[in-house]
């Protein structure tokens, strides 16, 4: 699977290379990472990428165009299941409340809709995570039910 770079007004969503994922797993710091990147969720995804670098994945680093710093990650949970693909995201605390996550979600959802075989793009979120709920709503997703998971009941949001 070829993962293209996506560019928005303020961000670049770059494919997450296996060598950078390995650096995250190893606890290394890279000069082009924001001081508070990576966070816990980023380490989990990096472990998946680094553990099987040849496996196709849909994960991208969120790069702030103004500074060139990696400030988060977003990705499709590849491959789709029955035409549906889930996505997840995280942004460094220092870059929250700037609209970056909403901007990144819109770009990733628009891209996912162009992938052959993808009929539905969705995310799940803990309803107590109000900032994440707001991101999904601002990005144009609508609540479409509840999902029982290991983390408890999550709300499912589907791209319109």
pTM of the model: 0.94
Say if 33 falls within a structural domain.
Answer: yes
Cα–Cα dist 85/7, whole Å: 21
pLDDT of residue 2: 60
CATH of the domain at 60: 3.40.630.30
In the block, which residue shows the tokens 């001081």?
35
Name the nearest CA neighbour of 80 among 1, 150, 22: 1
pLDDT of residue 10: 98
* Residue 140, both tokens: 């144009």
Say if 150 falls within a structural domain.
Answer: yes
Say if 136 falls within a structural domain.
Answer: yes
pLDDT, tens digit, for every residue of 66-104? 999 999 999 999 889 999 999 999 999 999 999 999 999
Task: Identify the domain containing residue 19 by its residue range.
Answer: 6-159
Say if 1 falls within a structural domain.
Answer: no
Report the number of distinct structural domains present in the chain: 1
pLDDT, tens digit, for every residue of 99-156? 999 999 999 999 999 999 999 999 999 999 999 999 999 999 999 999 998 888 999 9
Say if 62 falls within a structural domain.
Answer: yes
Say if 51 falls within a structural domain.
Answer: yes
């Amino acid at each position: 699977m070829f993962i293209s770079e996506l560019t928005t007004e303020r961000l670049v969503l770059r494919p997450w290379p296996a060598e950078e994922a390995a650096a995250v797993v190893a606890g290394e710091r890279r000069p082009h990472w924001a001081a508070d990147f990576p966070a816990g969720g980023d380490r989990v995804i990096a472990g998946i990428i680094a553990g099987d670098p040849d496996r196709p994945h849909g994960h991208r680093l969120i790069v702030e165009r103004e500074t060139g710093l990696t400030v988060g990650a977003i990705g499709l949970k590849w491959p789709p299941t029955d035409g549906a693909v889930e996505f997840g995201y995280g942004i460094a605390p220092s870059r929250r409340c700037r609209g970056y996550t909403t901007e990144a979600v819109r770009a990733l959802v628009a891209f996912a809709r162009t992938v052959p075989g993808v009929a539905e793009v969705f995310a799940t979120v803990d309803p107590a995570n109000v900032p994440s709920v707001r991101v999904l709503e601002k990005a144009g997703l609508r609540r479409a039910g509840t999902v029982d998971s290991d983390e408890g009941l999550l709300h499912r949001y589907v791209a319109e």
